[in-house]
Amino acid sequence: MPTNKSVALYQDLSLTLTEAGSGRPCLVLHGGGGPATVAGLASHLAGTVHAVTPVHPGWDGTHRPDWLTGIDDLALVYLHLLHDRGLRDVLLVGSSIGGWIAAEMAVRDTGGAVTGLVLIDPVGVHVEAEPIRDFFALDPRGVAEYAWHDSARFHRDPAELTADQLAVQRDNMATLRVLVGEPSMYDPKLLRRLGRVDVPALLLWGESDRIVTPAYGAAYAEAFADGRLQVIPEAGHLPQLEQPGATFAAIDGYLCDAITTPAAARQAP
């Protein structure tokens, strides 16, 4: 059964975590849509790993201290979490901005705690020929059209949401604007830095994603020393929701490959 807890990381910051499963530690990082977008993914992963899913500070009513103003800040927060808990041989799984956070963690992980990456339609890098769609300029219908393969199925009319749901959504988007910049959603230095990351990186990409295209994903994967791209058909920006079977199978294959490589070898300098 999943357990929920609050972990005091700094004097002015506590993290809300959901944990489930056992074995290799796995940090599951959600995107702008909040922790609900990776809940099913974390539940699946808990069958084979110890899945730890934080709520990014500022999402779903959680506290974000004034100094936490960028994705680089979040990356350091989560690296400190790994350090404080003594976690090694860590798999990072991130969706959208969660993938960006994971990539920033990997380039800063001088202690070698991180030994695997699964990035699902991440933003975070600048690809000249494939610019990131200006998410903040889209209305709800536009978001559905660009983010989903089956927009009719997944579009939520704001008129159908409760006042509380609208308030949470509004606050989440305000936090997103603070952390990612508007409209950039990338770190101009990150693409070059990824070549120093030599842990195996699997990038999963929805074939119909028009927020960040599969061509953008190909450039992202190529930047890693050991990266590969796998495209998920009939899926958009959140393939773990539109095509969970195919997405989970791809991650299971990655984990199966990792089992054949001892942890000591994955952590070797």
Helix axis angle, 163-180 to 71-84, nearest 10°: 100
pLDDT, residue 261, reads 61
pLDDT, residue 269, reads 46
pLDDT, residue 183, reads 75
- The radius of gyration computed from the CA coordinates of the chain, to the nearest angstrom, equals 17
Rounded-to-integer distance, Cα 237 and Cα 103, Å: 17
Rounded-to-integer distance, Cα 209 and Cα 91, Å: 24
Rounded-to-integer distance, Cα 80 and Cα 86, Å: 10
47 alpha carbon, distance to own chain's centre: 19
pLDDT, residue 265, reads 56
249-261 pLDDT per residue, tens: 999 999 998 776 6
**Hey, what are 55's tokens?**
């709520």
Helix axis angle, 97-108 to 71-84, nearest 10°: 60
Contacts of 122 by beta carbon, 8 Å cutoff, 6+ apart: 94, 95, 96, 97, 98, 99, 100, 102, 103, 203, 212, 220
Query: Domains (ranges, CATH) in the chain?
Result: 3-262 (3.40.50.1820)
pLDDT, residue 177, reads 95
Cα–Cα distances in Å, from 35 out to 30, 64, 117, 143, 197? 5, 16, 19, 18, 26
Rounded-to-integer distance, Cα 116 and Cα 60, Å: 28
Beta bridge partners of 10: 13
Helices (H) and strands (E) in the chain, counts: 11, 8
Cα–Cα distances in Å, from 257 out to 54, 107, 114, 125, 194? 26, 23, 16, 27, 22
pLDDT, residue 37, reads 97
Contacts of 121 by beta carbon, 8 Å cutoff, 6+ apart: 95, 96, 99, 204, 205, 206, 209, 211, 212, 217, 237, 238, 239
Low-confidence residues of the chain: pLDDT under 70: 260-269
